[in-house]
Structure 1
């Protein structure tokens, strides 16, 4: 303070004139801790200091909405400790203004008011939570949550489920993987670190929807009942509810036919009677380690093609082992052979309606083994006359039995 000469007075004790000096009142300096930006959720400490003088007590003031200054004292929101005022975190409000002054008890005087400070509160960094894959997850599938905080570094990540305030997981990395999804709920995350700001805002919530296992559906083209020689395509469809990379497995009578195919279709051509049976399929979601339920079984039936009235039909019975066989031919449920021969073919010269039935054969001989097993059966279907154009010859071979029996139908078209 710069002294100002006010006047002279006479001092009888010294017989001298004494000058009176006037000094400006001292002005406090008000500082804020932390000095840098204050983040939401942090407490603030104000410090009032008058340099060059001792014995001060300090008064604190806050400006209200009507721009009036009112005293601040010790309370649940404010802690006064000599020259500091600590404002509790939930009382720190953006835009609030504070100032201070000092008083001395040994003299009836006080300081000037300090310059006021305005609290500037910055929002905590934002956490953003994403889920991969998006959309519903099937039971047993893998789900990865990712928590991203764009500003600052050295975050530790905490993961929360539902309304619980206790983290279900904590990690130094910003991903959290649920290896086998089962419980659907809402999830959110938050970051913490040792430096300011010490935490992020809570992230957005994502809802994990868990469905029962995806169901595979098997279809057969062109039909579930085809003739020998046709091409057959099995197709496996799985509604995962999202784009995914899938592997497919195919089964016949519960035995693995083909697995780990990345295509939805399995094809065989030409179809044989041996392809007849019950088929199922299933799928694996490669990216998320999820598995579908197996499809319902679909039955494929492969039969001989029809013979038209008047055509010649030849049945051929082959036994792969041994020799000197005599061949017997049977029709329907009859146990009496309709034909016997030393050759392994039996020809119906002009097929008619009465020839339509199931046929099978058997071999006999004079040495051991004296007979073969009965062959497989083939169904001869006779239809009305064919139009006057040639049909290609169709030959089908089916191997069954021990000794093995081959039963052949040859359709010889007439023009």
Structure 2
């Protein structure tokens, strides 16, 4: 007799969706959605983005989903329009057998100048329970039809705005933790921010991306203590970067400072917050100026060269005569 081999039979195959390298991205980054069926091969895949519709949801197929036929759907240069919540499913065989829909995976893309701003008061990424939080969408072109949306632990996309205006006011509980963003009537998603609600220690950090060259200031807050008396340890991506100080200040932020930050005090540890760093507008202006300067210098060089050649030709002509 051979060794016994266990055989497990399931009426539905399980599909898992993951994101590499991470869910939070800056315009121009690369991201890959990876769809897998546990312990099985030979599948073809379909990809969807979830859009709220009334009290339900619409699973819209991605128009170029054929790019993810091998189980990996890659966006080589993400844009603001790629912000959203994604799912996948797999199928194979004749007759056709489909898996259940996968778990959801969001992509949150931050940009330099989104067409609409999500204004948050108080303006920080982490908040205490029972605090009041106000969120509103402000469009630079003064158009209407924007609403605040929320994606929480239950993966459901909730409409946070009222029927008459694009403003949301919440008396916070831990269940309000999630990502909030502005969505247009046509389904465009912009300006996602991660809001964390915690009952203990919180990290006071910017809710929107920080521009390169700016100053970044972090505080470690505990509700029953004034900020001036707080001394804490600050961490970035799990490593201690500053110890026993009341605040952490980075005077000139660079892309290397991007990452997950949190702090520790005797009362406890704060949740982690992702701090995104975007390129400064001055850099792009300088690069344009450099290009124009280089172009002008090349034109002057070419002009001088042509003039000298013409003069040389005339001199030779006069000498021949």
TM-score range, shorter chain: 0.3 to 0.5
Identify which of structures 1 and 2 has the higher relative contact order when contacts are C-alpha pairs closer than 8 Å and 6+ apart. 2
Structure with higher Rg: it is 1
Name the TM-score, length of structure 2 as normaliser. Answer: 0.33
Structure with the largest fraction of helix: 2
